[in-house]
Amino acid sequence: MKRFIGMAFIISTLLSTSAFATDRLHIDSFADGNMISEQGGWWYVYNDARNGGNTEVTPLGTLTPTKGTDTQGYAAYVEGTTGNRLGWDYFGFGVTFTATSGCPKQDKVNLSKYTTLEFKIKGNASGGRLTVVLPYTGQTCEGYIPKTLTHWADYEASITSDVSENWQTVRLNLRNDFAQPYWSKAEDIVSIEKVLQNASQLQWHFASPDGDTLSVWIDDIYLY
């Protein structure tokens, strides 16, 4: 009887482990070398020009993968220097979760079953702050920009300390490591569950008031 119970436990454990191992959302590893993610979303690069800033970033607009985690692979690569007009100037890059998650359709994706964001990163920064951001946006767009529902007080996780010359693996708990910024207004506070249930994109955002530089590679991005 004990042997039967033990075998049943082992089988149950293997099945649950297998189910967990396959329940991963592969966002991108850039193996195909293009700007379309594994889920059909698209990669983009932005800066503060729309707010009157003078931050420089390369590339700008679309993102072309290069220099992967191995000699034959690819990774997302962005470099830039923040400006001096806004007081807290910025640039960044991101990916929509599906082909229609960005403007104009703004289709949402439910990410509530996932607990962890994982990716690899390497680079150099002279200062400033690099964060991963989960934007919370509505169904309308202002030009090609989704309308923010938090006045840009979105859930974010700081990864500045993870930027180094060697590849590092970053694992962020979606519920414990992300938080809205301290300056968020009361009317902009929203639960992380609501954000995860209505997700459209993921961003890496670099900001600095001092004209700092950042060059960064991102690769092997998963949710699980």
Average pLDDT per run of 10 along the chain, which is 224 residues long? 43 39 84 92 95 93 74 85 94 97 94 98 96 96 91 98 95 98 97 98 96 95 98
Read off the pLDDT of residues 69-87 as tens digits, 9 standing for 90 and up: 665 678 999 999 999 999 8
What's residue 18's pLDDT?
35
Number of residues that this document lists for the chain: 224
- Mapped onto helix, strand or coil, the DSSP state of residue 30 is coil
For residue 88, what is the DSSP state? S
Closest CA to 153 of 133, 127, 177: 133
Those residues whose C-beta lies under 8 Å from the C-beta of residue 198, and which sit 6 or more positions away, are 108, 110, 136
Per the CB < 8 A criterion, the answer to whether 53 and 47 are in contact is yes
Residue 194: which H helix or E strand, with range? helix 192-197
Task: Give percent of the chain above pLDDT 70.
Answer: 88
What's residue 132's pLDDT?
98
Read off the pLDDT of residues 136-182 as tens digits, 9 standing for 90 and up: 999 999 888 999 999 999 999 999 999 999 999 999 999 999 999 99
Residue 17: which H helix or E strand, with range? helix 2-22
Q: Which domains does the chain have, with CATH numbers?
A: 25-223 (2.60.120.430)
